[in-house]
A = this chain, B = another copy of it.
Amino acid sequence: MTTTRRRTPPRAAAPSLPALPAADPQLARDAAELQQALEELIRVYQFRDRDRICCHDISVSQCYALDALVQRGPLTLNDLAAHLYLDKSTASRIVDGLERKGLARRSAHPADGRAVLLSATRAGTRLRERIRDELLADQMRLLADFEPEVRRAMAQLIGRLASAAAARVEAGGGSCCRLD
């Protein structure tokens, strides 16, 4: 989708976007509350990830990429970049890092001479497993304090929210600074 991120501000332009569901005060309140909660959540989890992952001699981005490779089998670089919402050049360099550490490998695409197939090596798979287990243990300790129905609902609702957000983004929902 390549959302043409622009450094140049759209400035006053901002022509009326897709009519937001005007004047539902409850919706507005929910959105504000969600926004606030998400900010906190993301801040905290990003820190956690940095904190937990980096000591395995791998960066957070590399870990995400490795995860994608393990979970979704061999991918082309473009696929990986799309999945991570990154520019392909960034993805390429992240793979460089993984390859240097022997955690992933590039191989020729059988059907397309331009493409490469990325996959996790045995060591990569193992490392990813180890990190995942740690994060999961962490998560379990956290969740243990909640009532079963609550944590169940958390997982489910967050899943739904993530899917919806992903769908919006995927659909090019409207990058703010478009208009070229």
Contact = CB atoms under 8 A, between A and B. Distances in A.
Interface stretch (A5-13, A72-80, A92-100, A111-119): A5-13
Contacts of A85: 43-44, 46-47
A142 to B, nearest CB: 6
A1 to B, nearest CB: 10
A64 B40 CA distance: 10
Contacts of A56: 9
How many copies of this chain? 2
B21 A55 contact: no
B159 A142 contact: no
A123 interface: no
A108 interface: no
Contacts of A144: 20-21, 24, 27
14 contacts: A8-B55, A9-B57, A26-B148, A27-B148, A30-B143, A31-B139, A34-B154, A37-B155, A37-B159, A48-B169, A55-B176, A141-B173, A157-B158, A158-B158
